[in-house]
Chain A
Amino acid sequence: TQLLEQSPQFLSIQEGENLTVYCNSSSVFSSLQWYRQEPGEGPVLLVTVVTGGEVKKLKRLTFQFGDARKDSSLHITAAQPGDTGLYLCAGVSVHSGYALNFGKGTSLLVTP
């Protein structure tokens, strides 16, 4: 069962543009995480959000957890080529047990 839907699936933008990717679910999550993965590497944890309405900033990246804890967004300001990668959201819910549920990811390409 795919609990997390990410959109868009693919995004190609030019350096300096802003973008937002979304992670949505009908389930409530006690914790939601964002990862970034580069080709041939394992995903790297960017942030964990746990409180409804929470906003966290990591340099040019802003993460928001929905008030109802069913959705999240990642906003990147002034994207750079180094932001290129696959962005995955993952959540902990009553369906998770000991394991995370991952979305299918948003593949981002930032061109100079």
Chain B
Amino acid sequence: SQTIHQWPATLVQPVGSPLSLECTVEGTSNPNLYWYRQAAGRGLQLLFYSVGIGQISSEVPQNLSASRPQDRQFILSSKKLLLSDSGFYLCAWSRHTYYGYTFGSGTRLTVV
């Protein structure tokens, strides 16, 4: 069966510090991978998605970036965090968008 791992679960970082969130998928190959951000328990904002190794599509201009160094690994990064980067970050994978996503358990990021 397929599983998705996302870590860390919580993170408190000072403004201006770097960020690296990691997400890995097991039990499948060539998944579509996604990073979303959720503010205040509400709707999900798509940040990045990837349909293959090294291929990244960005949906929102910001100081975040994403990389996919391996087929089942998706990394969200920032060189310098802003207060506005605080939120709940979710990684997800799908075989095909048509059938829905499987989400990771999320990372609660607080920038102080």
Which residues on A are within 8 Å of B, measured CB to CB? Answer: 2, 30-31, 33, 35, 39-45, 48, 50, 86, 88, 90, 92, 96-100, 102-105, 107
Contact = CB atoms under 8 A, between A and B. Distances in A.
29 contacts: A31-B99, A40-B106, A41-B105, A41-B106, A42-B90, A42-B92, A42-B103, A42-B104, A43-B101, A43-B103, A45-B100, A45-B101, A45-B102, A48-B98, A90-B101, A92-B97, A96-B97, A97-B57, A98-B51, A98-B57, A99-B34, A99-B46, A99-B49, A99-B59, A102-B43, A102-B44, A103-B43, A104-B42, A105-B42
| Chain B residues touching A, range | 20 to 34
Residue with the greatest number of chain A CB neighbours at <10 A, chosen from B41, B43, B57: B43
Contacts of A98: 32, 49, 51, 57, 97
Interface of B: 6, 32, 34, 36, 41-44, 46, 49, 51, 57, 59, 90, 92, 97-106, 108
Nearest to B88: A40
A39 B41 contact: yes
Contacts of A35: 100
B100 A33 contact: yes
Contact of B101 (A50, A86, A100): A100
Nearest to B49: A99
Given A98-B49, A99-B34, A104 B43 contact: yes
Given A92-B98, A99-B59, A86 B41 contact: yes
Residue with the greatest number of chain B CB neighbours at <10 A, chosen from A2, A41, A103: A41
Given A92-B98, A100-B101, A102-B36, 9 more contacts: A40-B108, A42-B90, A42-B105, A43-B90, A48-B100, A88-B43, A98-B57, A99-B49, A102-B43
A90 B101 CA distance: 10
A24 to B, nearest CB: 14
